[in-house]
Structure 1
């Protein structure tokens, strides 16, 4: 059963799993005193330790495991939600047709109208969920493909023969991630009248107005 406690635990677990790859990044660096002959002194530097060999693990988690898990999870949850909403729509539609046949007076007409409104809202929710899922998948597939290519192709790196292509794709990937966050607001604004009205009200007030 989904409760507030279960929701908090799941969100916390997702956050911790998302931070897990960064552990592999931090443990590959260490402080080291290095001599400076020109000034006859030592400086404390942050040095990357290649002997640990955990950078590949970080890239595999971030570029292969996490994206595949997120794609499967988003696709599965979206499919289940769409199927449940369609079943609910069919059930409401059958009840609405039954109410139209039975002579129940004004109460039946009110119930019929309420069922139709709920069905319309459910169809609207289905479209919004599918749009958000599609935007997420389209924006993060190039990012994962770029990281996967970095693992498979040795020349495709910051110091390889394909470094310029690697740099250009890296900038494009940053654009895709920012685009994903921006498009969610656009999707909800276009599809949701209440969200759009509240958003316009907030923007019209400005940062210094109350």
Structure 2
């Protein structure tokens, strides 16, 4: 991640400039002539490529986890049927089903909340006027403020998903923060 920010630091510099309205010298950001090219490289590399890679990785890992948990559930049911009466196998695999639902839901929330900035960064590469100080600066700032709200939502909603879907998390949360035992 640090290496992906090198183009940004090559194109932007902090310089001291005199501000006559304040009658003082202030630290100011100075952009190089290759600013648009360097930002395009940065946005494509860190914003689009790494984001798409993380989406693919999350989807693949979720699929592998779901497949493994489903095969584990089937194995448990077949061994439970062989070992006991088939009427006692009703609860076998319910915990695995809950885990599959929770992991899939968490992955879906992540992807839904982080796909829009990928599109915003890609659009910034395509249209150089779509930037903070560009022709469409107002809409740029509006969309990014909505995006930051989505990122905050993603970070905060996971707690409630775990509280709702994981009984073990509920127990640990209650004993840690509420100082009581939950059964």
TM class by smaller structure? 0.7 to 0.9
Which entry has the higher C-alpha Rg, 1 or 2? 1
1:120 is aligned, of 94, 114, 136, to: 94
Alignment of 1:46-195 (within 5 A): 46-51=29-34, 53-100=37-84, 116-117=91-92, 119-195=93-169
TM norm structure 1: 0.71
Where in structure 1 are there 5+ consecutive unaligned residues? Answer: 1-17, 103-111, 206-210
Match of 1:27? 10
**Distance in 2 between the 1:48 and 1:187 partners?**
44
- What is the aligned length? 178
CA shift at 1:34, angstroms?
A: 4.9
CA shift at 1:44, angstroms?
A: 6.7
Cα root mean square deviation, aligned: 3.1
**Distance in 2 between the 1:23 and 1:157 partners?**
19
* SS of corresponding position for 1:54: helix
Q: Which moved more, 1:89-98 or 1:71-80?
A: 89-98
Q: Which fold has the larger relative contact order, with Cα–Cα distance below 8 Å and residues 6 or more apart in sequence?
A: 2
CA shift at 1:185, angstroms?
A: 0.8
